């Protein structure tokens, strides 16, 4: 059995733990380098990317995380987790000294924080999602769409070579289409061992994203 950790510094940790256990793997919280060493893969949950950034450095996890990511450890980042995995933030927050927030990197993408709007502009929609063929009711048919919840969510503005786009929000699918300016926005990507979504599958009971990540950890996808 594989063991998957959830970075438990801030955010919706409990929901990810429950989703992983429901999907049939051992799950554990990760707050220290020794706990990181004990897992086969890691989930970085949604929350506040600036807070997660600061806490990874305070808990001396930033460098070990970067090293494991560079060495090929599978990581799934949702919402703030997507921001933490991005190589570049289009609109980084700055601290009182004017220093921009940091990321762990690994995904050759540029993200924009809170791109879909603030809390009151949260919305839900159904998405076509690549890579979920294993969940189709009948082999060879299209899987059911993913019901996605976007809460102060980022989107991806640039993908580099080797980054696969798994899902996009079309202008007509968002509740406040004006922010999309008539352009589909990338909300899920994968690059080899790294998976990221700008939405929260853990809050809706949608398990297939976690199941896809488990398959990545096991080398089956």
Could you read off the pLDDT of 21-67 as tens digits, one per residue?
999 999 999 999 999 999 999 999 999 999 999 999 999 999 999 99
* Predicted TM-score (pTM) of this structure: 0.93
* Residue tagged active-site, from 16, 79, 193, 210: 79
Q: Is 60 marked active-site?
A: no
Query: What percent of the chain lies above the pLDDT cut of 70?
Result: 95
Query: What is the maximum span of the chain, computed from C-alpha positions, in angstroms?
Result: 56
* Residue tagged active-site, from 15, 16, 193, 202: 202
Digit-coded pLDDT (tens) for 168-205: 998 777 666 556 677 889 999 999 999 999 999 998 88
Of the candidates 11, 62, 69, the residue with the CA atom closest to the CA atom of residue 32: 62
Query: What percent of the chain lies above the pLDDT cut of 90?
Result: 74
14 pLDDT higher than 70: yes
Element (H, E) at 72: none
Q: Is 200 marked active-site?
A: yes
Instruction: Tell whether the torsion through CA atoms of 150, 209, 47 and 96 is positive or negative.
Output: negative
What's the chain's average pLDDT?
92
Q: Is 124 marked active-site?
A: no
pLDDT-derived band at 74 (thresholds 50, 70, 90) equals: very high
* Residue tagged active-site, from 15, 16, 193, 200: 200
Q: Decide the pairing of beta strands 3-7 and 41-44.
A: parallel
């Amino acid at each position: 059995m594989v063991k998957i950790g959830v970075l438990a510094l801030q955010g919706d940790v409990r929901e990810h733990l429950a989703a992983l256990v429901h999907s049939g793997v051992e799950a554990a919280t990760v707050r220290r380098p020794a706990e990181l060493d004990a897992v086969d893969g890691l989930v970085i949950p949604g929350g506040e990317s600036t807070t997660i950034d600061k806490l990874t450095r305070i808990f001396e996890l930033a460098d070990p995380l970067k090293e494991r990511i560079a060495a090929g450890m599978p990581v799934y980042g949702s919402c703030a987790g997507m921001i933490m995995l991005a190589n570049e933030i289009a609109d980084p927050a700055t601290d009182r000294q004017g220093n921009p927030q940091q990321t762990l990197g690994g995904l050759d993408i540029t993200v924009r924080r809170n791109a879909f709007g603030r809390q009151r502009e949260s919305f839900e929609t159904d998405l076509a999602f690549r890579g979920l063929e294993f969940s189709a009711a009948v082999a060879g048919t299209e899987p059911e769409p993913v019901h996605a919840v976007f809460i102060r969510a980022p989107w991806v503005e640039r993908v580099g070579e080797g980054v696969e786009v798994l899902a996009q929000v079309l202008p007509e699918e968002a509740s406040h289409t004006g922010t999309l300016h008539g352009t589909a926005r990338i909300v899920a990507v994968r690059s080899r061992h790294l998976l990221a979504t700008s939405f929260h599958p853990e809050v809706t009971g949608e398990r297939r994203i976690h199941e896809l990540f488990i398959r990545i950890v096991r080398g089956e996808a």
